Amino acid sequence: MTVVHVVLPGDIDDPATPSGGNSYDRRVCQGLAASGWSVREHAVPGGWPYPGTAELAALTGLLTALPDNALVLLDGLVASAVPEVLVPQAHRLRLVVLVHLPLGDDAAPRREAEREVLAAAVAVITTSEWTRRRLVELYALPADRIHAAAPGVEPSPAAPGTASGTELLCVAAVTPHKGHDVLVRALATVADLHWNCVLVGSLSRDPAFVEGLRRQVDEHALADRIHFAGPRTGADLDAAYAAADLLVLASHGETYGMVVTEALARGIPVLATAAKGLPEALGHTPDGSRPGLLVAPGDPTALADGLRHWLGDAALRQRLRLAAADRRSTLTGWAVTARLVSEVLARVPAVSGRTA
C-alpha cells in the first residue's frame, strides 16, 4: 500500500466554515483511501495563507519529521505562501501542491513566494483547466508538471422548480470577493418584479462586510425578500437547492465554482459572472447550449438585466431548464477526480539527487 501524507488547513471539517476547497480536499482524501492509498492526514491549524510564527514552526516541524522520499500532497492555501518552509524540504520530500486558488493571481506581492514553492514541487495539481493555464502564464512552469483534476459532483434529485422562477439562491461565503453587494444592487434594480433570494454561506469570515450588506438590504427595503441563511451543509443544503429555481453567483472570480455544478446536478440553471473558471464550471450541453447565463463581473446592471430576462421570459426559463437537465447528464463524480489525482501521485518520481 502506497503512503501519501496530505497537509490540510486546520478547518477542513469545520461545519461553521464550509468551503469548496475543504470539500474538495475531503472528497479527494476519501477517494484516494478507497482506491488503495494509505492516506495520512495532517491538519495544520492557522490563519492560512497568513500564518503566524508558531504556525510556521509547526509546519516546519511536521515536514522535518517525515521520512526521506515521503510523498506529500499539500493544499496550496498552506503551501503557496511559505517558500521558506517548503523549498528547503524539496530536496528530500516529494512535494505535490494542490492549487485551488493561485495566491498570486490578484495579489502581485505573493507571486514570488508562490513561484518559488511551485517551482520546487515535483508536481502541481489544479482544480480547473483555467487554473492550470493561469499558473503556466504566471510562472512559466513546465506544462507537463501541472495537471487539472476538476471537482466532481454527487448525483442529486432534480429540483422541481416553480412556474414563475422566482426562488433565487446564492451559495457562497458572504465576503467581498463573492460579490454579494453587487447582487443586492442588482436585486434592488428588479424590485418591481416578484422574487425571493436566499443567501446560503458563512457570515463570520468578514463581519464588517456582512454588517454593511445588511444595511444595504435595509436601505433598499428588501429585508423581507433577501434572507441570510448562514452556512448550510448536508440535508439543509440539499433542501435549499431543492427549493431553488435559479442559482445566482455574482462572484468577482472563481477558479472553478463547485456550487455551479452542484446546482446543475439538480437541473437548476445558473446566472453567474463570466469570471475566471466559472464558464468552465457552467460548461455546455452535448449540443453546445449554455445551461444558464453569464454576465460581466462587478456589473450590477448586467446582473439585473440577466435577472429581468429570467424572471420575465417564460420561454427563456424553459430553454435554460432543459439545457440544465442536459448538462446534468455530462457531469462526473468524485471518483473521477480522485482517480486523476491518484494518477498524478503514482507518477511522481523519487527525489534522490534533486536540489531545492
pLDDT at 62 over 80: yes
Confidence band of 352 (pLDDT split at 50, 70, 90): low
Burial annotation 192-203 (CB, 10 A radius, 16+ → b, else e): eeebebbbbbbb
| pLDDT tens for each residue of 68-104 | 999 999 999 999 999 999 999 999 999 999 999 998 8
Q: Report the SS3 class of residue 264.
A: helix
pLDDT score for 15: 74
Q: What is the pLDDT of residues 185-237, one digit of tens each?
A: 999 999 999 999 999 999 999 999 999 999 999 999 999 999 999 999 899 99
Over pLDDT 90: what percentage of the chain?
A: 88
Residue 355 is predicted with a pLDDT of 43
**pLDDT score for 129:** 96
Q: What percent of the chain has a predicted confidence (pLDDT) above 70?
A: 98
Residues 331-349, mean pLDDT to the nearest whole number: 96
pLDDT at res. 292: 98
342 pLDDT band (50/70/90 cuts)? very high
- Is the fold of 3-152+334-346 the same as that of 167-328? yes
Name the CATH superfamily for 167-328: Glycogen Phosphorylase B; (3.40.50.2000)
Exposure of 109 in the CB half-sphere (CA atoms within 13 A)? 0
User: What CATH number is given for 3-152+334-346 in this structure?
Assistant: 3.40.50.2000
| Summary mean pLDDT of the chain | 94
Which positions ≥6 away from 18 have C-beta within 8 Å?
202, 231, 232, 233
d(CA 187, CA 181): 10
Q: Parse the chain into domains and list their residue ranges.
A: 3-152+334-346, 167-328
Sign of CA dihedral 296, 161, 128, 16: positive
What was the pLDDT predicted at 106? 76
What's the maximum distance between 2 C-alpha atoms anywhere in the chain? 68
* Nearest C-alpha neighbor of 28 from the set 345, 347, 343, 335: 335
Buried b / exposed e over 305-337, threshold 16 CB at 10 Å, is bbbeebbeeeeebeebbebbbbbbeebeebeeb
Interhelix angle 20-34/334-346, rounded to 10 degrees, is 70
3-state helix vs strand vs coil in the chain, percent to 5: 45, 15, 40
DSSP string, 116-129: HHHHHSSEEEESSH
